[in-house]
Structure 1
């Protein structure tokens, strides 16, 4: 079953588009990878969207954008989150995250995103951080 924006209200579509553009513009220049996930009824639906931002424009694929908006709309209603990984030429990365609630993105602190990435979801046990990754506080989105 494909998820679409077809059953969403104009408000939900508008807010999803605003959230997506907020993520695209949140960190400025760089090679970014946005993952949006919605969790409901014991399952998770996610989308992964790579894009490059040169400070003025982005190469976000329009098809990816529409699919991301659909998952953002669902996540904003049922619960979910977004994570942005920024890749650098020296093979290091920065990771930031947001909790999605009622079409708003609540920034996670550095310790919250570290905990999310460095805790085994099945056991709750700590796991080692990825080499070369810095877990950082997410900025508030301008939407």
Structure 2
């Protein structure tokens, strides 16, 4: 088993700020996604070279002006925790989020890189490059038939300090 360096321990304040930003990012992504079936994926690479991947499948329904999100609570907590540490940044070298909309006849995939404490949109070409590579080996994979790659959309950054501030 390989030896890993001890990961740095972020401050409680940095974790709390990153956690608020993670919840905000997830809310903005799901609000923009709208009603239907969606899958969120987070992938990160920690400072010891280990990869973490987490997925969250949600069903969103509209009841009047309110969007109701249905998801397994334990998966939601795990996804939020992984994204929190990606946003905080002291233990994660790089990370990203993929939103896969499976509501229509053809799935639509968009992506964001976690950069400087927030999600920055990727272009359709960038997400295709990421999506068509094996996350562990980096080897090319076949494109899924019928899949549509679309540009990520900008997410307004929340007010407040950057998590590492």
The verdict on a shared fold, with TM-score over 0.5 as the criterion, is yes
How far 1:9 sits from its partner (Å)? 2.9
- Map of 2:128 onto structure 1: 114
User: Which residue number corresponds to residue 117 of structure 2?
Assistant: 103
Give the direction of change, closer, same or farther, for the CA distance of 1:105–1:123 in structure 2 (3 Å limit). Answer: closer
**What is the 5 A alignment of 1:46-125?**
46-55=53-62, 56-76=67-87, 77=89, 78=92, 79-88=94-103, 90=105, 92-119=106-133, 122=137
Please, what is the CA RMSD of the aligned residues? 2.3
Would the aligned equivalents of 1:30 and 1:54 in 2 still touch at CA under 8 Å? yes
**What stretches of structure 1 of length at least 5 have no aligned partner?**
1-6
Q: What is the distance in 2 between the residues matched to 1:131 and 1:16?
A: 32
Q: Give CA-to-partner distance per residue, 1:21-63, whole Å, 9 cap, x none.
A: 1222221122000011121122111211000112422113332
CA distance 1:52–1:120, change in 2 (3 Å): closer
1:137 Cα deviation after fit: 0.6
Larger Rg: 2
TM-score after normalising by structure 1? 0.81
Give the TM-score of the pair, scaled to structure 2.
0.72
- Structure 2 distance, partners of 1:11, 1:84, is 23
Contact map agreement 1:20 1:65 (CA 8 A) in 2: no
* Uncovered stretches (5+) of structure 2, i.e. residues with no partner: 1-11, 159-165
* Count of aligned pairs: 136
Deviation at 1:86, TM superposition (A): 1.0
* 1:12 is aligned to 2:18: yes
- Aligned-residue offset at 1:119: 4.3
- 1:123–1:95 CA distance, 2 compared to 1 (3 A): closer
Name the structure 2 match of 1:134.
Answer: 148
Which 4+ stretches in 1 moved above 3 angstroms? Answer: 119-125
